Every structure is written in structure tokens, then in C-alpha cells.
């Protein structure tokens, strides 16, 4: 039994009766107040005071800080111990607070088989898992006879953080050659390189989840349209580096997307959801169809970035913005990109704004060496605005070396310079362009 004294002031009382001492008795987890009274006439006032004390006690209990959540489990895995890494991921998935798994520095974890015939080297991430390394590589073995599988998978409730980790060598008969994400994936100071998917997302596929890459690189991955077998469904081959589906969110910050290839759209990235690109570089990506750097069929915002030497077999050497898509570009350079058909740098069939940017030295096999703006039959109105943007020294094989605007589409110039393009700066007629 515990006791404590609580000094309580009684409203309306005078002199010595202004203050009373209460003994708070805690027994059977229920506080009992026993007033120590000198005079009977104080009973009513004491009842009022007692209520105040109880309220105060309840308030203290209600506002007491909650106990701190348990810290994530810390697990270390020795260099090359793939079995130990499998066990560590299992342990992390089993704990509500998850686990931080520290990998050996300058080390490769080489996988010979997938986990439980799942098509993935490690167990799918279903909880909170952090893989922390430094120049650490997770790689599918290139030894003959090794089956096809990706390296990592994250389910819709999983949260995976990768720091200082390279994911490479994945090869899958489906989406996500290196990583397949349906939950939350954060990569920092990492690489996704040399992976291959007979489907979408040679490096990473994002299906309804959230992917963020910071100070990371997506290099030389491939998405192919070749099915795994004659009986398998046809593969899209979209998103050589990354594929983001209609409900996904993909963010790239201070990252590099380079040397990726796609048999379909989006050599670097194919986006159908929401795409945010900040201070990043797209270099030498190639799509057989549209969008050498980015094929956009969703909502995309690009800021302070650079697109250099990307290639598309059809439209949009750097970026192709489809008929249902929106595109916003700020402070970005498009240099030396090439399209086999229209829009050496940018092909637009949706709604696009390009502001404070440069479009220079791009080429198109037909029209719009710099920018091509086309109204698709039966689609929503196509509109492209060039605001404080320079379009110079671009070349088209047929017409509209700088910009080409097809019938029915709207192209607006706001204090923009269209100069030095061949064979002409603008076609068809564009107000403000000569």
C-alpha cells in the first residue's frame, strides 16, 4: 500500500481551513481519498476539493509519456554468408520493430539459388528491414546452371532500406530484374546495375508502392519483350532501368540513370503513375519504341536535371509524354538526344510545360528535331508551353528543326528563343517563332 500527501486548496474557505491535507491511499489499484477534517461543516467543500484532486490525478495519468517503442534488432552478417543473410531477413520480418542488418564492407554476397523457388534470392520483405553496407554487393552468380531469379522483393506491407548496397546480376522471367517492389523501398548511395527482366523494370519494378532513390545509380539494366517460353505470356519490355505502374510513386534525387535499354517504352524509366525527378542525370538510355530517357503515361515532374545522348526508335529521344499524361520540366537541359521518328528531345501528345530549360543539338528522323507536339485523334487536347526556354541547333530530317506542331495541337511560346535549327526553326505556324 502506497501513500502520498496532496495539499489541496478549498475554494471559499478562510484561514486555516483554506488548505486541507488529503491522504491518497492506493489499494487494489483504486485510489481512495480519506479527508482529515477538523470541522463537519467542511464536508461539502471537501467533496468538491476531492473531485478536483481526482481530476488532477487522472490528468497526470492521461498525459504521462508513453513508453518508447523497442529499437530495431541489430544483426551483423559475415562476408559472403548468404545463408546467414536469409536468416537475418526472416528474423527482421518476424519483429514488429524490424531489424537493421549490417553487411560486411567491400564484400559480395553471391547467390547460387533462389529462396524456396520464389524467384527471388532472399525472402520477400514483409516487415521493416534495413540492409546497411559500404561497397557491398548482392549478386546472382554467373556460374553456369544457375537459375533465373531477382535479388530482392518487397511486399505491400514491407519497408526496405538499402544504404551502400549494389544489386546486380538479377535475371527474371517477369517484372523487376533486380528488385520487385510493392511496398516501400528507399535506396541511398546504392546501385542497381546489370539486371535483366523479361517483362517490365529491368532494374526495379514498382507495383503500387513507393520507391525513392537518393545519390544512387541505375546502370545498364534491360527490359526485354522476349517471353521466357513459348507458352508464357508476352512481355512488355518497358522500363529498362525502372518501371512505375499506375498507382506507384517513384522519386529520383541526385541520381544517375544511364545505359539502360528497353524493347518497349522508357529506356531509363517507364512511368504510368507519379514520377518526381530532382537534380538527376539521364545518359545514353535507349528505348526501341518511345521515350529514350523517360516514357511517361502518368504524371511527371522534372527539375534541375540533364538528359544527354538518349535514344528512342520512335518518338521522344529524351522524354515522350503520352496522350493521357502530364509533364512539367524546370531548369533542365536536353542535349544530343535522338529520335528515329519525331521529337529529338521531347515528344508530346499530352499536356506539357517546359520552363527555364535548354533544348540543344537534338535530332529527329522525321519532324521536330527539338520538340514535337502532336494531337492524337480522339484524345484530350494536346498543349505544350515553352516558357523562358531556349531551343537551338537542333535538326530534323523533314521539317521543324526546332519545334514541330501538328494540326489541332497547341504550342505556346513565352519569352523563349527558337534559333539556329535546321531545316527551319518552327513548323507548322507557331506564334512568336520565325
pLDDT tens per residue, range 305-344? 999 999 999 999 999 999 999 999 999 999 999 999 999 9
Per-residue confidence (pLDDT) for residue 432, from 0 to 100: 86
Nearest C-alpha neighbor of 201 from the set 183, 221, 217: 221
CB burial readout 98-111, b (16+ within 10 A) else e: bbbbbbbeebbbbb
- Asked if pLDDT for residue 425 goes beyond 60, the answer is yes
Residue 434 has a pLDDT of 80
Instruction: Classify residue 262 as exposed, middle or buried by CB count within 10 Å of its CB (0-12, 13-18, 19+).
Output: buried
Cα–Cα distance, 217 to 280 (Å, whole number): 10
Instruction: Assign 379 a pLDDT band (cuts: 50, 70, 90).
Output: confident
Q: What is the mean pLDDT of the chain?
A: 88
**For residue 153, what pLDDT band results from cuts at 50, 70 and 90?**
very high
Nearest residue to 287 (alpha-carbon basis) of 318, 258, 311: 311
Spell out the residues 6+ positions from residue 70 whose beta carbon is closer than 8 angstroms to its own. Answer: 96, 97
pLDDT, tens digit, 9 for 90 and up, residues 226-240: 866 555 666 889 999
pLDDT at 130: 99
pLDDT in the model for residue 70 = 80
3 state SS for 3-50: EEEEEEECCCCCHHHHEEEEEEEEECCEEEEEECCCCHHHHHHHHHHH
What pLDDT sits at residue 45? Answer: 46
Is a pLDDT exceeding 90 seen at residue 157? yes
Contacts for 420 with CB less than 8 Å, ≥ 6 apart:
392, 393
Is the model's pLDDT at 146 over the cut of 80?
yes
Per mean pLDDT, which range of 79-83, 344-348, 428-432 is the poorest? 428-432
Per-residue pLDDT band for 4 (boundaries 50, 70, 90) equals very low
- 260 Ramachandran zone, left/alpha/beta (phi>0; psi -120 to 50): beta
pLDDT band, very low/low/confident/very high, at 41 (cuts 50, 70, 90): very low
Instruction: Find out whether 430 and 421 touch, Cβ atoms under 8 Å.
Output: no
What pLDDT, on the 0 to 100 scale, is given for residue 65?
Answer: 63
- The confidence score (pLDDT) of residue 230 equals 56
Cis geometry, peptide bond prior to residue 356 (ω within 30 degrees of 0) = no
Beta bridge partners of 257: 218, 282
How many other C-beta atoms are found inside a 10 Å radius of the C-beta of residue 85? 22
Model confidence over 188-197: pLDDT tens digits?
A: 999 999 999 9
> Which one is predicted more confidently, 228 or 102?
102
What does the pLDDT read at residue 167? 99
**pTM for this structure?**
0.84
The per-residue pLDDT for 231 is 55
Amino acid at each position: 500500500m502506497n501513500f502520498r500527501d496532496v495539499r489541496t486548496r478549498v475554494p471559499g474557505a478562510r484561514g486555516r481551513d483554506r488548505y486541507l491535507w488529503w491522504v491518497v491511499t492506493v489499494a487494489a489499484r483504486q485510489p481512495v481519498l480519506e479527508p482529515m477534517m477538523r470541522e463537519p461543516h467542511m464536508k461539502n467543500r471537501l467533496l468538491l476539493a476531492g473531485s478536483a484532486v481526482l481530476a488532477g490525478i487522472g490528468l497526470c495519468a492521461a498525459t504521462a509519456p508513453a513508453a518508447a517503442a523497442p529499437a530495431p534488432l541489430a544483426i551483423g552478417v559475415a562476408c559472403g554468408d548468404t545463408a546467414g543473410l536469409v536468416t537475418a531477413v526472416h528474423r527482421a520480418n518476424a519483429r514488429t520493430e524490424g531489424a537493421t542488418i549490417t553487411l560486411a564492407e567491400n564484400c559480395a554476397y553471391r547467390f547460387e539459388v533462389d529462396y524456396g523457388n520464389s524467384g527471388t534470392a532472399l525472402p520477400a520483405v514483409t516487415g521493416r528491414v534495413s540492409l546497411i553496407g559500404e561497397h557491398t554487393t548482392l549478386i546472382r552468380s554467373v556460374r553456369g546452371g544457375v537459375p533465373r531469379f531477382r535479388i530482392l522483393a518487397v511486399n505491400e506491407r514491407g519497408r526496405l532500406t538499402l544504404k551502400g548496397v549494389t544489386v546486380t546480376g538479377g535475371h527474371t522471367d517477369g517484372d523487376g530484374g533486380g528488385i520487385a517492389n510493392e511496398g516501400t523501398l528507399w535506396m541511398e548511395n546504392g546501385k542497381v546495375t546489370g539486371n535483366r527482366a523479361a517483362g517490365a523494370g529491368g532494374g526495379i519494378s514498382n507495383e503500387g508502392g513507393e520507391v525513392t532513390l537518393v545519390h544512387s545509380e541505375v546502370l545498364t539494366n534491360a527490359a526485354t519483350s522476349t517471353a521466357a517460353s513459348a507458352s508464357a505470356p508476352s512481355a512488355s519490355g518497358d522500363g529498362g532501368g525502372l518501371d512505375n505502374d499506375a498507382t506507384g510513386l517513384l522519386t529520383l534525387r541526385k541520381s544517375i540513370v544511364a545505359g539502360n535499354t528497353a524493347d518497349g517504352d522508357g529506356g531509363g524509366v517507364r512511368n504510368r503513375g507519379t514520377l518526381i525527378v530532382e537534380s538527376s542525370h539521364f545518359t545514353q538510355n535507349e528505348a526501341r519504341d518511345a521515350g529514350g530517357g523517360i516514357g511517361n503515361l502518368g504524371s511527371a515532374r522534372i527539375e534541375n536535371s540533364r538528359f544527354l545522348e538518349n535514344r528512342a526508335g520512335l518518338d521522344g529521344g529524351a522524354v515522350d509524354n503520352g496522350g493521357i499524361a502530364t509533364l512539367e520540366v524546370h531548369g533542365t537541359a536536353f542535349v544530343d538526344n535522338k529520335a528515329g521518328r519525331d521529337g529529338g528531345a521531347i515528344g508530346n501528345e499530352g499536356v506539357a510545360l517546359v520552363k527555364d530549360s535548354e533544348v540543344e543539338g537534338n535530332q529527329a528522323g522525321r519532324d521536330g528535331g527539338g520538340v514535337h507536339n502532336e494531337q492524337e485523334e480522339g484524345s484530350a487536347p494536346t498543349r505544350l508551353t515553352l516558357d523562358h526556354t531556349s531551343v537551338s541547333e537542333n535538326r530534323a530530317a523533314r521539317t521543324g528543326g526546332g519545334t514541330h506542331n501538328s494540326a489541332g495541337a497547341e504550342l505556346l511560346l513565352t519569352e523563349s528563343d527558337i534559333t539556329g535549327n535546321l531545316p527551319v526553326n518552327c513548323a507548322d505556324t507557331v506564334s512568336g517563332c520565325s
